[in-house]
Amino acid sequence: MLSSSYQSLALIIGVGVFVVVLIVFYAVRMLLNPERTARDRVNDLTGTRVSTDSLLAPDEQVRGVTSNLSALAQPSDVDEANDQRMRLIQGGYRSRNNLEVYSAIRAVLAMVVPLLLWAVVPSMQLVYLLFVLMLGATCAYYAPALWLSHRIDKRKEALMRPFPDAMDLLVSSVEAGLGLDAAFRRVAQEMESAAPELAKELQAVNHEVGAGISRVEALRHLDHRTGLEEVKSLVNVLMQAERFGTSVARALRVHSNLVRKKRMLAAEEQAAQISPKLTVAMILFILPSLFVVLAGPAVINVVNTLLPAMAGQ
């Protein structure tokens, strides 16, 4: 009787965990694959959604589920929500419901991980079990934030690495007689194979300008999407050149030289850190091995000489 009740409880827990994991799978799928069809984009822009079926589409069902789950973890403060949405954009997640999916994933992980831990260690004492469940829920809740920070740092590195080369191409294009919009388009085409992330950002500026957004606002959006200080400085330089009517080519050349010098200083700083790192590695790994090789034969000879003498006494 008691064993059958335990089996029923385990079956219910297993089914619940399966359903929650399935929801997490669809939420992760929406976050990692934010691309939509042209029809979805038109429907989002017009505020209408035409459906030939009486039932909701799978994407709509997932959106409804994620909207309900995101309310558990989504910040209530508008400024904090905007900051999180901007961080998601800087991490490369640009779907309209990126914050809802992100908050839903955090909420679901905070519920699933304690259930899994409870299924793994059910025989612990109640106090320790509660501590483990709370620790697992906390780690699961903050794990997506750590992953997002790591993703933002990696994306900034991917954007910053080819940025000085893109600046040189931009200066050459402007000095050759191209306008700023045409120069951005040319640099995006040239950098598409070598630096696809940076090329997409420059193409986005051209698309926004072509859609009717002012160049200043499009450059500000570029700064917000990348989060790089160098891009922010570039945007300020272009905005000041456009506002005061100064030479754009000269301003870009000065900024290009500064960016290249900054990259050279960063490379020199990384090179200067090699000696301390090698010293630590030598102390921890090479020096003990060297001590064993040098002092080992002497220790063996001493042991072979002293032990028989001590045994003879």
Residue 144 and residue 174 in one domain: no
Domain-located, residue 288: no
Residue 15 and residue 111 in one domain: yes
Return the structure tokens found at 15: 């089914």
Please report the pLDDT score of residue 313 as a whole number.
60
Residue 103 and residue 191 in one domain: no
Domain-located, residue 285: no
- Compute the distance between CA of residue 201 and CA of residue 192 in angstroms, rounded to an integer: 10
Q: What would the pLDDT profile of 103-121 be if each residue is shown by its tens digit?
A: 888 888 888 888 888 877 7
Residue 256 and residue 212 in one domain: yes
Domain-located, residue 122: yes
User: Which of 112, 136, 157 corresponds to the end of one domain?
Assistant: 157
Percent of the chain at pLDDT exceeding 90: 4
Domain-located, residue 107: yes
More confident residue, 199 or 127: 199
Domain-located, residue 110: yes
- Compute the distance between CA of residue 262 and CA of residue 268 in angstroms, rounded to an integer: 10
State yes or no: pLDDT of 200 exceeds 70.
yes
Residue 175 and residue 261 in one domain: yes
Mean pLDDT of the chain: 77
Residue 144 and residue 179 in one domain: no
Residue 21 and residue 151 in one domain: yes
Domain range enclosing 68: 2-34+56-157
Residue 128 and residue 174 in one domain: no
Residue 89 and residue 198 in one domain: no
Q: Once rounded to an integer, what is the mean pLDDT over residues 275-280? A: 85
Domain-located, residue 277: no
Instruction: Give the count of domains, the chain.
Output: 2
Please report the pLDDT score of residue 115 as a whole number.
83
Residues 99, 74 contacting (CB under 8 angstroms): yes
Q: What would the pLDDT profile of 172-194 be if each residue is shown by its tens digit?
A: 888 888 888 888 889 888 888 88
Domain-located, residue 294: no
User: Which of 129, 157, 185 corresponds to the end of one domain?
Assistant: 157
Q: What's the pTM?
A: 0.66
Q: How confident is the model at residue 9 (pLDDT cuts 50, 70, 90)?
A: low
User: Which of 157, 192, 223 corresponds to the end of one domain?
Assistant: 157
Q: How confident is the model at residue 16 (pLDDT cuts 50, 70, 90)?
A: low
Residue 27 and residue 87 in one domain: yes
Residue 220 and residue 248 in one domain: yes
**CATH number of the domain enclosing 267:** 1.20.81
Domain-located, residue 181: yes
Q: Once rounded to an integer, what is the mean pLDDT over residues 88-94? A: 87
Residue 169 and residue 264 in one domain: yes
